[in-house]
Amino acid sequence: MVNNNLSFDECKQMSRRLIAMNPNRNANMGKISTCLLDYYTELTKQPWLCTLVGQIRDLTAQQNLMGEEQKQTEAYKQLDKQISALKKQLPFRSPHYFHFLDDHRAQKTIDPEAFTFQTTVDIDNPEEVETAVKNALLLNGMFDDAEEKLFREKIFSADDIELWKGKVLHVERSARNKAHIDYGFHMAVTDASASAIKEMADMVDEGVTSFKVFMAFKGSFMADDQQLLRVLRRTGETGGLVQVHAENGDAIDLNVSDALSRGQTAPGMHATTRPESTEQEATGRAIHLATWAKRPVFVVHVSAASAVREIQEARMNGLPVFGETCVHYLTLTEEELHRPGFDGAKYVCSPPLRHEHDQDVLWSALRQHDLQIVTTDHCPFNFCGQKELGREDFSKIPNGLPTIEHRLPLLHEHGVRTGRMTMAELVNLTSTAPAKMFGLDRKGRVAPGYDADLVVFDPSSTLEISAANHHMAVDYTPFESWTCHGAPAMVYSRGDLVYGGGDVRSAPGRGRFVRRSTGPFPAGGITRL
């Protein structure tokens, strides 16, 4: 425990290695103790804390999807209560003071000489860590030779420097400490402001070369035509690829309001209010905007036959238009949404599941290379406590399915074994093509100079899919009791065995951030392939 009579300078020195913690708090009250930063770092790695933070983020995301008019509703207030209750379980951290009189955390008991000179910066993306540390050190005057001083004064205002003066940075490297395999990022542009558009160049320089724009989810993620056009034009200056979630958000929003006014609240209304035509129209509109911008466009999560036809027509005209579908659109249909009771909520995703006819068109488009990639759009929500939030209102059911674990077995079972694709085509759709499309220059091939990222797939094995034995942190699977012949037996990352014998063999933190090139889409106008 820290002596109450520490001098100002001693407090400053101690602050570089101590932090106030209350691991078992009641809200923000209760006893606290000072701990080494190493203790806090270890605490952030605990699985229970990761799960708790994930639950808070999921519920907060649901809140963010609600429109302004919904903030006074009971559903919104219930989410607030749930979030608040979960936050009370978080261990408390004091980024500004490391000592309180009588060891009791309260405003009136702050030891005024125990200000830590520590500004806490939360950084989830490990590629941002180096830059953040560099900037913090510059602001703190840690590099005071003439060159560094000039550099500091160029990139920071006098107000910035004054604000940060004398403070020490503590960075949370949460993402860096969790990943087992290599990873990269897309940048989602949900507000195409002047500053966001400008930052796209910085993202490309840092190896983030793909940008996702939503044409749906009005009131939260949705971008209008002008914003999408700005993003497309910016990639003409910086390089990179724009991905579009293509659904007409305005039409869907009106459909949802009309359905609820009629008392139609069941999960099946999710598909009814997002008909195939809303996807077709948005896909066509995205293609037109990309053509005007003279840039390629990549349509994600294609589910509808009519949307496929929009892509096919553009490609027949020589336009650089690409598409991706997901394993659930190839294997599940809208009928699942109409299951008895509330069970259909397990199958709510966007765009919604379609019909067998749409599936046939999707499989055909993959064979003809009009769709280039099969992904998962993995977006898991627990049925209990999360999907259940929409029992009285289908629009409040969190959109997304847990699918990432079973993509390969399902594609092998319903693609390769049925003759819809060859094994080589499966490899291309899930590995080679994505690597080329998104500038993963050392991934996607088995060849000299490439990373030895390998999946050893055993076609003779049998996999019974069940929530009881899957490895995803979610309480259900949309493929419960399905049987697949063939499953991954071993996984290698950069030549290291990371999975085998049913067990993970690697340690968290092994994965590296991968800087991506602009791939086949450099800066400059592109009108044809």
The residue among 64, 86, 116 that closes a domain is 116
Within a domain: 126 = no
CA-CA-CA-CA dihedral for 187, 188, 194, 200, to nearest 10: 20
Residues 328 and 194 in one domain: yes
Residue range 84-103, pLDDT digits in tens:
888 877 776 654 444 556 55
Whether residues 197 and 87 share a domain: the answer is no
What does DSSP say about strands 187-188 and 210-214: parallel, antiparallel, or unpaired? parallel
Residue 436 parent element (H or E): helix 433-437
- 151-155, 222-226, 499-503: least confident range: 151-155
Model confidence, pTM: 0.70
* Tokens 């896909």 found at: 283
pLDDT at 320: 96
- How many alpha carbons fall within 13 Å on the CB side of residue 385? 14
Q: Residue 469: exposed, middle, or buried by beta-carbon count in 10 A (0-12, 13-18, 19+)?
A: exposed
206 and 314 share one domain: yes
- What is the chain's percent helix, strand, coil content, to nearest 5? 45, 15, 40
What is d(CA 509, CA 521) in angstroms, rounded to the nearest whole number? 31
Model pLDDT for residues 235-248, shown as the tens digit of each residue: 999 999 999 999 99
Q: How distant, in Å, are the alpha carbons of 72, 92, 220, 343, 351 from that of 399?
A: 22, 31, 14, 14, 9
Q: Which of 85, 116, 147 finishes a domain?
A: 116
Do 341 and 455 share a domain, yes or no?
yes
Tell me: pLDDT of 287 over 50: yes
> Do 56 and 192 belong to one domain?
no
Write the CATH number for 277: 3.20.20.140
Q: How many structural domains are present in the chain?
A: 2
74, 204: one domain = no
* Structural domain contains residue 158: no
User: Does 112 share its domain with 231?
Assistant: no
Can you give the residue range of the structural domain that contains 398?
187-504
Q: Based on the domain organization, do 271 and 366 belong to the same domain?
A: yes
**What's the token pair of residue 497?**
């065995």
Better pLDDT: 11 or 343: 343
Same domain as 218, residue 75: no
Length reported for the chain:
529
Tell me the average pLDDT across 65-75: 82
Verify that 452 and 356 share a domain, yes or no: yes
pLDDT tier, 21 (very low <50, low <70, confident <90, very high otherwise): low
Q: Is residue 521 part of a domain?
A: no
Q: Considering 60, 83, 116, which residue would you say is the last residue of a domain?
A: 116
Is the per-residue pLDDT at 403 higher than 70? yes
Please check whether residue 121 lies inside any domain of the structure.
no
Q: How many helices (H) and strands (E) does the chain have?
A: 18, 15
Q: Count CB neighbours of 517 within 10 A.
A: 16
Q: Does residue 405 fall inside a structural domain?
A: yes
Residues 254 and 383 in one domain: yes
Within-domain flag for 161: no
CA distance 263 to 285: 32
CA distance 317 to 280: 18
pLDDT digits over 362-401, tens only?
999 999 999 999 999 999 999 998 999 899 999 999 999 9
Whether 154 maps to a domain, the answer reads no
If asked whether residues 111 and 196 sit together in one domain, one would say no
Nearest one of 206, 276, 201, 208 to 231, comparing CA atoms: 201
- Residues 391 and 59: their CA atoms lie apart, in Å, by 16
Give which of 197, 212, 128 is closest to 169, Cα–Cα: 128
Q: Is residue 484 part of a domain?
A: yes
